[in-house]
């Protein structure tokens, strides 16, 4: 009888201990409940809610059905609105979404669709065709799930990678592969795409802009479907390159497009060699440069200062800093917490300072005055009726030449009255603002390439010809802004 009692006691003790171990280690219990749950499943679950679909309508130029007969005026180029589809992922829980620039190029409207099916109209904050990245903003009612950005300087050939996106409209599709190569340079349609990650995971139309993640669930790149004929091969922009370039784009957008006088360029601290992903990164961001007589300079910000917080929000990345700066109101003081080296020494303890910066808006450049000063061009904006003579090649607001000053650089360049200014040094010109911003960056005496359209009436309609004019700027008594990032 005693032996039976001891057996029952031991069984009860084992059951109690098993229950205690199960409650202490839920992960082990979950593993037993889901024996098929792999690191790939975990990585997808970690990021899926932060991956979005991006759709809308964009303007595309109608193809010419009369190839080879352009000079006969049989074809009037038209811009048509067509639907587009791409992917993206949430960088900031306030609604900042990143994608490829080619996904939203020429977009008339943009809609972001979350994993739960909710839809939001999106505003394009900034885009760079040369870097193929664009930042969108939506207005969610509650904070959004975000991805965790990893690093791309320690990638291994052969390591497993995962791509999440919407190939051909199939939302939240997961594909896997390996890293086939790094530092891959491509040239597609006269555009260079340097330092890409080559992967075996297929990247199809609709995948562009989605995240490339590693087996730990960290984003290591942004997928881009730039080689459409490729099969079983894909490319991605490395996340370190994405961080650096997006910070540059945001700086240029704040300083030159939004005309906000801040004047300090912010960068991430360099990662020490050998530092792994679990190493705690240095807090704050680094002030790389400060423009003389800027708001930042007048407030006392200096080169090599460390900014640890802006408006009481801690900051540990240059991208995060600029996103917070975009949220600040103009003409109000914004408080910065900074750390500064004592006596210029990196070894001594840093002193903590609080400074206040008042962001103000600079007036827009006077595009007509700059065009006249630099080239001798008198210009005007096209009306609806005037745009019609260019068929679908021009929109109201585009810039045309009204007259040319005798003896000016434009006088002997081949430019004539009525010509349409389409681009300057490959930067598209679509209105007075874009023309003024571009002319503001050109240094006195530089050789400039201006792309123009010329319309000619024929018996079949309007004949549109494109040509380039090269001319050197004359003195305009101005200096270009320092640290300009020409995108």
Q: Pick the catalytic residue from 53, 128, 152, 208.
A: 208
What is the CA angle 14-18-21, rounded to 5? 140
- Beta-bridge mates of residue 453: 420, 466
Q: Pick the catalytic residue from 53, 92, 128, 132.
A: 132
| Residue 257: active-site member | no
Task: In whole angstroms, give the CA distance from residue 418 to residue 469.
Answer: 14
Structure tokens at 271: 């990662």
| Residue 31: active-site member | no
Task: In whole angstroms, give the CA distance from residue 325 to residue 359.
Answer: 9
| Residue 132: active-site member | yes
- Beta-bridge mates of residue 128: 133
Phi, psi of 472 (to 5 degrees): -105, 135
Phi, psi of 153 (to 5 degrees): -90, 0
Structure tokens at 358: 């008042």
Q: Pick the catalytic residue from 53, 87, 92, 102.
A: 102
Distance of CA 44 to the CA centre of its chain: 24
CA nearest to 332, candidates 314, 309, 310: 310
Q: Are 459 and 391 contacting, i.e. CB atoms less than 8 angstroms apart?
A: no
Question: What 3-state DSSP class applies to 429?
Answer: coil
Phi, psi of 189 (to 5 degrees): 50, 50
CA nearest to 267, candidates 252, 281, 254, 285: 285
Task: In whole angstroms, give the CA distance from residue 426 to residue 291.
Answer: 27
Question: What 3-state DSSP class applies to 223?
Answer: strand
| Angle between helix 318-326 and 239-252 (nearest 10) | 30
Q: Are 391 and 78 contacting, i.e. CB atoms less than 8 angstroms apart?
A: yes
Phi, psi of 21 (to 5 degrees): -65, -40
Burial class (CB in 10 A: 0-12, 13-18, 19+), 70: middle
What is the CA angle 103-104-108, rounded to 5? 145
Instruction: Find where tokens 């430019």 sit.
Output: 415
The dihedral over CA atoms of 30, 33, 38, 39, expressed in degrees to the nearest 10, equals -10
- Any residues with CB less than 8 A from the CB of 159 and at least 6 apart, and which? 178, 179, 214, 215
| Angle between helix 367-375 and 432-440 (nearest 10) | 50
- Any residues with CB less than 8 A from the CB of 157 and at least 6 apart, and which? 178, 179, 180, 181, 182
Catalytic residues: 102, 132, 208
């Amino acid at each position: 009888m005693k032996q039976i009692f001891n057996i029952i006691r031991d069984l009860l003790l084992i059951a109690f201990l098993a229950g205690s171990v199960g409650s202490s280690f839920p992960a082990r219990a979950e593993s037993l409940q889901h024996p098929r749950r792999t690191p790939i499943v975990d990585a997808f679950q970690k990021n899926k809610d932060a991956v979005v679909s991006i759709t809308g309508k964009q303007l595309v130029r109608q193809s010419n059905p009369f190839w080879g007969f352009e000079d006969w005026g049989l074809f009037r180029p038209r811009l048509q609105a067509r639907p587009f589809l791409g992917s993206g992922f949430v960088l900031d829980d306030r609604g900042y979404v990143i994608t490829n620039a080619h996904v939203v190029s020429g977009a008339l409207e943009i809609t972001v669709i979350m994993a739960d099916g909710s839809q939001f109209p999106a505003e394009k904050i900034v885009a760079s065709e040369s870097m193929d990245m664009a930042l969108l903003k939506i207005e969610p009612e509650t904070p959004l799930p975000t991805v965790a950005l990893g690093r791309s300087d320690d990638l291994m050939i052969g390591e497993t990678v995962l791509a999440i996106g919407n190939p051909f409209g199939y939302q939240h599709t997961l594909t896997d592969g390996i890293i086939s190569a790094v530092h891959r340079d491509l040239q597609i349609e006269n555009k260079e795409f340097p330092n890409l990650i080559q992967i075996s995971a297929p990247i199809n139309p609709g995948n562009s802009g989605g995240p490339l993640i590693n087996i730990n669930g960290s984003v290591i790149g942004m997928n881009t479907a730039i080689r459409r004929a490729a099969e079983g091969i894909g490319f991605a922009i490395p996340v370190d390159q994405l961080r650096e370039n997006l910070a540059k784009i945001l700086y240029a957008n704040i300083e030159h497009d939004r005309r906000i006088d801040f004047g300090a360029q912010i960068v991430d601290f360099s990662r020490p060699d050998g530092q792994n992903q679990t190493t705690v990164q240095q807090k704050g961001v680094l002030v790389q440069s400060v423009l003389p007589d800027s708001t930042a300079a007048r407030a006392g910000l200096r080169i090599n200062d460390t900014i640890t917080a802006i408006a009481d929000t801690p900051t540990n990345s240059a991208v995060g800093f600029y996103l917070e700066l975009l949220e600040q109101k103009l003409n109000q003081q914004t408080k910065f917490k900074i750390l500064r080296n004592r006596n210029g020494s990196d070894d001594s303890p840093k002193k903590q300072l609080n400074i206040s910066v008042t962001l103000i808006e600079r007036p827009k450049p006077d595009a007509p005055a700059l065009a006249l000063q630099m080239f001798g061009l008198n210009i005007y904006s096209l009306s609806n009726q005037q745009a019609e003579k260019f068929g679908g090649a021009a929109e109201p607001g585009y810039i045309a030449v009204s007259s040319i000053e005798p003896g000016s650089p434009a006088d002997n360049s081949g430019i004539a009255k009525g010509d349409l200014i389409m681009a300057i040094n490959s930067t598209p010109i679509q209105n007075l603002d874009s023309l003024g911003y571009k002319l503001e960056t050109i240094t006195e005496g530089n050789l400039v390439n201006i792309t123009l359209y010329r319309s000619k009436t024929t018996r079949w309609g309007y004949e549109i010809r494109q040509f380039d004019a090269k001319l050197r700027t004359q003195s305009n008594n101005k200096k270009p802004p320092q640290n300009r990032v020409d995108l």
